[in-house]
Amino acid sequence: MTPPTSPDDLKGAARKLIREAALVDGAWISAGDGAIAVEDPSEQTILGHVPSLTADQVDEAIAAAADAFPEWSRRKARERGEFLTRWAALITANEQALGALISLENGKPFAEAVGEVRYANAFITWFAGIAEHLDGRAIDSGNAQDLILAFREPVGPVAAITPWNFPAAMMTRKAAAAFCAGCTLVLKPASATPFTALALAALALEAGLPPGCFSVVSGAQSVVGARLTGSAAIRKLSFTGSTEVGRLLAGQCAPTLKRLSMELGGAAPLLVLDDADLELAVAGTVAGKFRGAGQTCVCPNRIYVHESIHDAFLERLTERVAALKVGKPFEPGVEIGPLIDAKAVEKVETHVAKALADGGRVLTGGARHDLGGRFFQPTVIAGADDALFTCEETFGPVCPVFSFRDDDEAVARANASEFGLAAFVFSESLNRAMRVGRAIDAGIVGVNTGLVSNPANPFGGVKQSGYGREGSAYGIDDYLQVKSLTLALR
């Protein structure tokens, strides 16, 4: 099959993947009354609807996950791995159409969206590769009679709540780990971008996943979230989203003592030490900051540059940022798409206004883009106060730059935040980069790079950025529990 190439063909291929439905126990439940409209953020037109499920329908999905769990968890690990491999192959075969679907519902440029599909798929192949290696241990009991065996078993049916900024990758990062471990899954995608998750779920069924193992439930957080968190059958919740919502969900999960993985907000610092390679630091800042139009949890939110190179860095950064191409996702060469919704644009505007009120000056951008709607100009601000950017993530294409005098000050300012997801350090001295990188309170530190997203990298934060790790060899641990058997030898 020749992959579609023109924007119209790509959009057509994406639309064919749209299912205006939820998936409950292998059945597609159509969007009816009170359905949720899904918008194309670049055109502000309605792409379609998904149902707002009732509490009973969510309970059906949970019951299906509980019923399917014994059989799926007892399958040979090799078979679960083979399913993941088949799923990944189907995703690859549909890569362009899935990329186009992400562009339609999320607005990210098509090339970046295809990159997300590959990133998403890499989690599936990663976990396919470790399915057969979930070993336990034989433990010396310390006495002559007993031998202790520790097994790692799946935690049970799992719920996942995923965000709109990576409609594919945040879903597969959780789903692939769950299926690899032998868990079943009920997933609530973000209401803004449910179609990608539904399309991926359809491919999972086509790849041979038994129906009850995977339900995708759409609807109001107050209904769907409450059923998932309140159910005793669901043994774990994995959530990616804001710290505020994470706290709420953790509270709702407390009565049933669920296992939790919380990948929450960040306000990532990026430090450019005085011996940094300036070009590399500028390129890393642009790559990290403007990915997804600044709408990722690991985007640098505040850039600290040593005072001796601050002006030179700023000049080069401003040049690069001013040249970024803003536009609709299917236009060739576009690097920055629209923000997800009107509230996101307002937040970015507020951050710029506060930075200016705090003494900052705009070096490029600073306002809504001429394209109107959800488009905002890529922005560089210097001379503002860093307090706002330390305590609140902008989630938009704004790059505030500050200067510092020495490494200790840079580390102190990096750590003066309640968040601790990602951080970045640029230095040509490995010793300094290691020392500074280790002193920063963050779960993920990039050295001489602005991009840390890789299925092999343990992804997760500290402090108010949450807990648990996703992807990597550690990512499976959150889906497994240890069970021991003591053998009394006679």
Question: Could you give the CA distance from residue 194 to residue 226 in angstroms, rounded to a whole number?
Answer: 19
Nearer to ligand SIN, 296 or 427 (CB): 296
Nearer to ligand SIN, 53 or 297 (CB): 297
**Which residue in the list 183, 297, 299, 399 is annotated as catalytic?**
297
CA distances from 325 to 33, 103, 319, 489 (A): 40, 16, 12, 71
Shortest approach of ligand SIN to residue 455 CB, angstroms? 9
Is residue 391 annotated as a catalytic residue, yes or no?
no
Shortest approach of ligand SIN to residue 263 CB, angstroms? 6
Report the interface residues with ligand SIN, using CB under 6 A.
165-166, 169, 240, 263, 296-298, 453, 459
Query: Alpha helices, DSSP H only, in 75-136?
Result: 77-93, 95-106, 110-130
Least Cα distance to 272 among 423, 470, 111 occurs for 423
Nearer to ligand SIN, 387 or 451 (CB): 451
- Residue pair 215/228 in contact (Cβ under 8 Å)? The answer is no
Shortest approach of ligand SIN to residue 170 CB, angstroms? 6
Is residue 297 annotated as a catalytic residue, yes or no?
yes
Nearer to ligand SIN, 165 or 427 (CB): 165
Residue with tokens 């020495």: 406
Nearer to ligand SIN, 39 or 470 (CB): 470
DSSP reduced 3-state for 138: strand
Shortest approach of ligand SIN to residue 1 CB, angstroms? 30
The amino acid occupying position 345 is V
Nearer to ligand SIN, 243 or 453 (CB): 453
Nearer to ligand SIN, 166 or 195 (CB): 166
Residue 41: alpha-carbon gap to chain centroid = 19
Question: Could you give the CA distance from residue 324 to residue 398 in angstroms, rounded to a whole number?
Answer: 13
Nearer to ligand SIN, 20 or 112 (CB): 112
Shortest approach of ligand SIN to residue 410 CB, angstroms? 24
**Which residue in the list 112, 263, 335, 393 is annotated as catalytic?**
263
Nearer to ligand SIN, 52 or 296 (CB): 296
Report the greatest alpha carbon distance in the chain. 81
Helix axes 194-206, 77-93, angle to 10 degrees: 120
- Residue pair 453/438 in contact (Cβ under 8 Å)? The answer is no
Pairing outcome for strands 45-50 and 36-40: antiparallel
Shortest approach of ligand SIN to residue 469 CB, angstroms? 12
Shortest approach of ligand SIN to residue 451 CB, angstroms? 8
Return the structure tokens found at 107. Answer: 């607005």
Shortest approach of ligand SIN to residue 108 CB, angstroms? 12
Question: Could you give the CA distance from residue 95 to residue 264 in angstroms, rounded to a whole number?
Answer: 28
Nearer to ligand SIN, 110 or 119 (CB): 119
- Residue pair 469/458 in contact (Cβ under 8 Å)? The answer is yes
- DSSP states along 430-488: HHHHHHHHHHS--SEEEES-S----TTS-B--EETTEE--BSTTTTTGGGEEEEEEEEE
Q: Which 3-state string (H, E, C) describes 415-435?
A: HCCCEECEEEEECCCHHHHHH
Own/partner pairs, 443-447, CB within 8 angstroms, 24+ separation = 443/469, 444/298, 446/284, 446/288, 446/422
Return the structure tokens found at 381. Answer: 């601000």
* CB neighbour list of residue 406: distance below 8 Å, 6 or more residues apart: none
Residue 147, phi-psi category: left (phi > 0), alpha (psi -120 to 50), beta (remainder): beta
- Residue pair 344/294 in contact (Cβ under 8 Å)? The answer is no
DSSP reduced 3-state for 230: helix
Shortest approach of ligand SIN to residue 470 CB, angstroms? 8
Shortest approach of ligand SIN to residue 296 CB, angstroms? 4
Q: Any idea which residues carry the catalytic annotation?
A: 263, 297
